[in-house]
A and B are shown apart, each in its own frame.
Chain A
Amino acid sequence: AQSVTQPDIHITVSEGASLELRCNYSYGATPYLFWYVQSPGQGLQLLLKYFSGDTLVQGIKGFEAEFKRSQSSFNLRKPSVHWSDAAEYFCAVGARGNTGKLIFGQGTTLQVKP
């Protein structure tokens, strides 16, 4: 069965430090992969997505993610974190069948220290 795992439930980084959030997926074919962010009290917003082609994808707010097929990973990175990046981050994979259904990971809560 398809699944998405985010190994880190909670991460704390200092403002200005680099960030990497891990995501591993289980899927037999080339997956459609997404990162969404949920700020407190708000709905989810798409940061970036990967369909095919260049394995390094750029997103909004200075985020990027790299697709590594050999590791079944799609880790999210940012070179320098800002206090406003504190939020919950979800990795998701498109479910089989081309229905648009998403399978989400458990989420990673990012705390930013001043």
Chain B
Amino acid sequence: DADVTQTPRNRITKTGKRIMLECSQTKGHDRMYWYRQDPGLGLRLIYYSFDVKDINKGEISDGYSVSRQAQAKFSLSLESAIPNQTALYFCATHAGTSGSLVWNEQFFGPGTRLTVL
């Protein structure tokens, strides 16, 4: 079984709809991240969480919200989807919590392809 799973893998929705993307991990990591990938722009950080009670905005958090329901689960919501939120969304985790360990490998889920019409 995959260590980092994302559901759904693909989603088509309409402008104005509320959407939730879910991420689960079995690696026991405290730190979790949500990125979006757009062609020509690479990956950009939306939100990140260091533990259940520590959630932080990334560089492009407007229009998104998150919930860290447990150490293993980190959900991303689009309260009112708009077409420019059409993208590939990745969840990632890593174990490092201090010093140089924060630069340990991030483990990525397979991605959710979201299309907003």
Residues of A within 8 A of B (CB): 4, 6, 9, 32, 36, 41-46, 49, 51, 90, 94, 98-102, 104-107
Task: Evaluate contact between A43 and B108: CB separation under 8 angstroms.
Answer: yes
Q: How far is the CA of A99 from the CA of B55 in the complex (A)?
A: 12
What residues on B are CB-neighbors of A41 within 8 Å?
110
Q: How far is the CA of A100 from the CA of B96 in the complex (A)?
A: 8
What residues on B are CB-neighbors of A6 within 8 Å?
42
Q: Which of A42, A51, A105 contacts B100 (CB 8 A)?
A: A51
9-residue interface stretch from B13-21, B43-51, B63-71, B74-82 = B43-51
- Number of inter-chain CB pairs below 8 Å: 61
Task: Evaluate contact between A45 and B108: CB separation under 8 angstroms.
Answer: yes
Q: Which of A4, A9, A99 contacts B102 (CB 8 A)?
A: A99
* Chain B interface extent, by class: 20 to 34
Q: A51-B100, A100-B31, A100-B96 are in contact. Are A46 and B42 (CB under 8 A)?
A: no
Known: A99-B48, A101-B45, A102-B43. 9 other contacts (CB 8 A): A32-B103, A42-B110, A43-B109, A44-B92, A49-B103, A51-B100, A94-B103, A104-B44, A106-B40
Task: Evaluate contact between A104 and B108: CB separation under 8 angstroms.
Answer: no
Can you show 19 pairs from A to B with CB atoms below 8 A apart?
A: A36-B108, A41-B110, A43-B92, A43-B107, A43-B109, A44-B43, A44-B90, A44-B106, A44-B108, A46-B106, A51-B100, A51-B103, A90-B43, A98-B99, A99-B102, A100-B31, A101-B48, A105-B42, A106-B41
Residues of B within 8 A of A (CB): 4, 31, 33, 35, 40-45, 48, 58, 90, 92, 94, 96, 99-100, 102-111
What residues on B are CB-neighbors of A101 within 8 Å?
33, 45, 48, 58
